[in-house]
Amino acid sequence: MEHLAETFEHGKRPVIAVDLDEVLGYFVDALCEFHNDKYGTTYKASDFHSYTFQDVWGGTKEESSKKVHDFLESKHFKNGLRLVPGAQEALAKLAEKYDLVIVTSRQHIIAPETHEWVETHFPNTFKSILFGNHWGLHGEKKSKPEMCTAIGAAVLIDDALHYARECAGHLQKVLLFGEYSWNAADDTALPEGVVRVRDWDAVLSTLDTLELK
């Protein structure tokens, strides 16, 4: 299987940057299933008020990193990520009009699994996948604003409030995706240029109102 490139050259069409976890597939749901199976807990995604996982299940940063590493080696990660409803249909429509690029904070070490999952569920949809490697022990790290700037993105679709805040002002619009415990905020307090979209239908209707460059 030929993998998507990890570089991208801007063409004539507007570029939309799309996050992966919690926007395309439910990472935290699968993580909860792993943790509950291994440690006898009863976590669900709504318990995760923070995406810094030790804030939820306790322990040290190192212990938390070991748990996540074990999860990434598990069947729960490799076979258990459920699709976010409406993502496939919405992105198929958007790919007719825009160049779509995944920008994820995921580590380089899970690039093969990431490529396989994307190519299985979103064939011929994305032009490229860029990895921020934010929790990687080795290799270069790139911020979301850096990745979005590198591909000339007009819009970012992301579930993380802190990434939305970082990218506000760098793009025409940031769409803060979903109503998750970790991105709860008064929508009137969101930075200028950031708008919440509760699902993929809302993504489509919001993009219909924008003239992207």
Assess if residue 38 is contained within a domain. yes
Q: Which tops the pLDDT comparison, 185 or 209?
A: 209
Task: Identify the pLDDT of residue 1.
Answer: 37
- Domain containing 33 equals 27-80
Chosen domain end from 80, 97, 119: 80
- CA dist 91 and 195 (Å) reads 19
Query: Is residue 40 located within the same domain as residue 100?
Result: no
Instruction: For residues 88 and 185, state if they share a domain.
Output: yes
One domain for residues 193 and 160: yes
Strands (E), the chain: 15-18, 99-104, 128-131, 153-158, 173-177, 194-197
The answer to whether residues 127 and 175 belong to one domain is yes
- Give the catalytic positions in this structure: 19, 21
pTM: 0.93
Confidence class of residue 194 from pLDDT cuts 50, 70 and 90?
very high
Q: Is residue 159 part of a domain?
A: yes
Domain identity same for 60 and 90: no
Question: Does a structural domain hold residue 99?
Answer: yes
100 and 68, same structural domain? Answer: no
- Nearest to residue 74, comparing CAs of 31, 131, 116, 26? 31
* Residue range 81-128, pLDDT digits in tens: 999 999 999 999 999 999 999 999 999 999 999 999 999 999 999 999
Q: Is residue 2 part of a domain?
A: no
Is the confidence at residue 2, as pLDDT, over 50? no
Query: Does residue 133 register a pLDDT over 90?
Result: no
Asked if the structure places residue 69 within a domain, the reply is yes
